[in-house]
Amino acid sequence: MNDISPFLKQLLSLPGLSGNEEPVRQVIAEKWRPLVDELSVSKLGSLHALRKAGQKKQAPAILIAAHMDAIGLIVTGIQDGFLRVTEIGGIDPRILPGQEVIVHGQNGLSGIAILWPDRLVNSSHKGKPPSLERILVDVGLPAPEVEKLVHVGDLVSFSTPPVELSGGALSGHTLDNRASVAALTVCLDELKTVNLDWNVWMVATVQEEVNCAGGATSPFAIEPDMVVAVDVTFAKGPGASDHRSFPMGKGPTVGTGANIHPFLFKTFKSVAEKYEIPFAVEPLPKGSGTDAVVMQIVGSGIPSAVIGIPVRYMHTPVEEVVVEDIQRTGRLLAAFIKNLAPDTLDNLTREMHP
């Protein structure tokens, strides 16, 4: 596939907070439409894309999920023309002061998240990290106009533009998890001329950042034989260089642990080695923190796998990724799917019953 960067930048320029994913879903659907046989939207708003198997008889199915929702803020009150907010998804208040945002009221209003200077606040707050209660959003309008245009419950999204960095890196908001949506797009492009033995469902899920609602409901509707969650993971950097983080620019991670079926872990590893795709093994001893947590236990249970893309500064407006890691993730997914044979499901079952 050609460079995925332009599409990724487009995704990073869109809102789509948890529960309000329509703006980004429309763009993903437009990109995926020529690469799949069917497109549909679930009752909760997840995007379902089906690439059918070439054989006419009933084929097994794999579901690959990447959540498309983003973290952000919601207006909880208006005070003297300033907006009080709280989080949608996990946000560290320390990163908010000075950030550019868009308030999605009657009109899209540009704003900035602000924190009053120490010299103007109560001495008990001086020098301390800010809490969300101390963060306000300023849209620059007089109080009466603000109250006409903005209401409690309006959404506030980051508006940091994507920035190209050296070494093939890209920074922007919502790389968690638009990076994985881009990887699924690379995969679909790799498969466009391949005669498949399995039905392939690509799903851009909703609400992962708050309750994994899309991950829990889409497999229930599709009833796949195996599921793969593609999400971001923590990249190494100063103060984050132990076993819980992974190098950027060295390929995706393949998860192993209670949330991952051993057969799928071993198969992803062997496929990566066969096709010389660099990767790291990511130990996930408990839940993976991805849609796989809920997908694994849908119905009577579904064998699951987790693939991660290393990202720095997760859950901030300046997340960072090496674009080649996204391309490699897409190629790994495509290679895994190409290696799915009609008897793969039998092998998976035998793995659990030696």
| Domain assignment present for 168 | no
Q: What is the reported pLDDT for 53?
A: 94
Please tell me whether residues 249 and 289 are part of one structural domain: yes
Asked if the structure places residue 204 within a domain, the reply is yes
Residues 220, 320 within the same domain: yes
Instruction: Give the mean model confidence (pLDDT) for residues 281-305.
Output: 95
Which residues 6+ apart lie within 8 Å of 49 measured at CB?
29, 32, 35, 36, 38, 39, 188, 201, 202, 203, 204
pLDDT attached to residue 354: 47
- Give the whole-number percent of the chain exceeding pLDDT 90: 84
Pairing of strands 304-311, 253-257: antiparallel
Q: Are both 125 and 206 inside the same structural domain?
A: no
Q: Are residues 37 and 82 in the same domain?
A: no
CATH of the domain at 318: 3.40.630.10
Q: What is the mean pLDDT of the chain?
A: 93
Q: For residue 263, is it within any domain?
A: yes
Cis peptide before 177 (omega within 30 of 0): yes
Q: Is 106 helix (H, G, I), strand (E, B) or coil?
A: coil
Range of 241's domain? 5-70+173-352
pTM above 0.85, yes or no: yes
Residues 180 and 259 in one domain: yes
Give the chain's domain count: 2
Q: Of the candidates 127, 158, 189, which is a domain's last residue?
A: 158
Whole-number Å distance between alpha carbons of 184 and 74: 29
Environment class of 313 (CB within 10 Å of its CB; exposed 0-12, middle 13-18, buried 19+): middle
Q: What is the DSSP letter of 37?
A: S
Query: What is the pLDDT confidence band of residue 164, given thresholds at 50, 70 and 90?
Result: very high
Residues 189 and 291 in one domain: yes
Is 163 within the bounds of a domain?
no
Cα separation, 202 vs 212, in Å, equals 16
- Say if residues 76 and 58 touch (Cβ distance below 8 Å): no
- Domain end marker among 98, 127, 158: 158
Residue that is last in its domain, among 134, 158, 182: 158
Asked if 129 and 189 sit in the same domain, the reply is no
Q: What is the pLDDT of residue 276?
A: 97
241 and 326 inside one domain: yes
Query: Where residue 126 sits, what CATH number does that domain have?
Result: 2.40.30.40
Q: Which residues are catalytic?
A: 208
333 in a structural domain: yes
CB of 181 within 8 A of CB of 204?
yes
- Assess whether pLDDT exceeds 70 at residue 56: no
Whether 80 and 61 share a structural domain? no
Any domain includes 150: yes
Q: Please tell me which residue, 286 or 129, carries the higher pLDDT value.
A: 286
Hunting for tokens 């033995």 — which residue is that?
197
- Residue 307 covered by a domain: yes
User: Which of 281, 283, 182, 171 has its CA nearest to residue 237?
Assistant: 171
Q: Is the pLDDT of residue 66 over 60?
A: yes
Determine the pLDDT at residue 306: 98
Percent of the chain's residues with pLDDT above 70: 96
Per DSSP, the residues of 273-303 read: HHTT---EEEEESS--SSTHHHHTTSTT---
Do 213 and 307 belong together in one domain?
Answer: yes
pLDDT at 352: 59
Q: Looking at residue 1, what is its pLDDT?
A: 55
Over residues 178-211, the pLDDT tens digits come to: 999 999 999 999 999 999 999 999 999 999 999 9
Higher pLDDT, 153 or 348: 153
DSSP H helical ranges for 18-82:
22-32
Of residues 11 and 130, more confidence is placed in 11
Statement to judge: residues 141 and 242 lie in one domain: no
Q: Assess if residue 167 is contained within a domain.
A: no
Q: Do 84 and 21 share a domain, yes or no?
A: no
Residue-wise pLDDT for 241-263, tens only, equals 788 899 999 999 999 999 999 99
